[in-house]
Amino acid sequence: AWYLLNIYFNIYNKQVLQVLPLPLPYTITAFQLAFGSLVIFFMWAAKLHPVPKLSAAQLAKIAPLAAGHMLGTVFTNMSLGMVAVSFTHTVKASEPFFTVLLSAFFLGEVPSPLVLGSLVPIVGGVALASLTEVSFNWVGFWSAMASNLLNQTRNVLSKRLLGGEEEEFMDDINLFSVITVLSFLLSLPLMIFAEGVSFSPAFLQSTGLNLQELCVRAALAGLCFHGYQK
């Protein structure tokens, strides 16, 4: 299910990014996080999962994870808009390298020689693919690398949060749900500051785009994005 939703997210997301007259990674990110937030509120309202009870101190601990999640999504959309989907995910295949590095730094988990050895073909493969990639450009490459760093930082710190005293009030589904909602709230001022209201229906219609088809594909991308992340 994770692979299937991830594949369709990338297909729909690339279709949306390709037809937009301007690169709008912040707006696309805010839309995806907004769609995920709607799914989460429906989950809580329908009592499919218990609503978490959070204090201000707990929200303060989760806010940095939300910022990392939001920025990681922005950089993923930047990379997908600049290079081929296949190349973005080739670069993102180096995530295990960041996981090992950050787990050692934040959690004190020292990797074994076998684990370190397994990273050599991963890093070497990404380097080889980058050297021979037809659609290569540095913005797309570094955006994908920044997404790796931010997403794996979020994962490692989430693991530490779930393993601490917060485990009594927060399970993994609710932690990700709160991260998603906070990410959406953080993405709004960034979207308005960086891109304004370029994604308005009037603007899109003036460019000759099929607004209904664009919204359907963007909604499907948002659904698949939230699904595979969940």
Per-residue pLDDT of the chain (230 residues; tens, 9 = 90+): 988 998 898 888 888 888 776 778 888 899 899 999 999 999 999 999 999 888 888 888 889 999 999 999 999 888 888 888 888 878 878 888 888 888 888 888 888 999 899 989 988 888 888 888 777 888 888 988 898 889 888 888 887 777 655 445 578 889 899 999 999 999 999 888 887 766 566 666 676 777 788 888 888 998 998 898 88
Dist. CA 79–CA 141, nearest whole Å: 7
Dist. CA 56–CA 60, nearest whole Å: 6
Domain coverage including residue 16: 1-229
Dist. CA 140–CA 58, nearest whole Å: 35
Burial (Cβ within 10 Å: 0-12, 13-18, ≥19) of residue 1? exposed
Rounded to two decimals, what is the model's pTM? 0.81
Distance of CA 199 to the CA centre of its chain: 20
Q: Which residue has the tokens 């950050």?
A: 102
Dist. CA 98–CA 45, nearest whole Å: 37
**What's the total number of domains in the chain?**
1
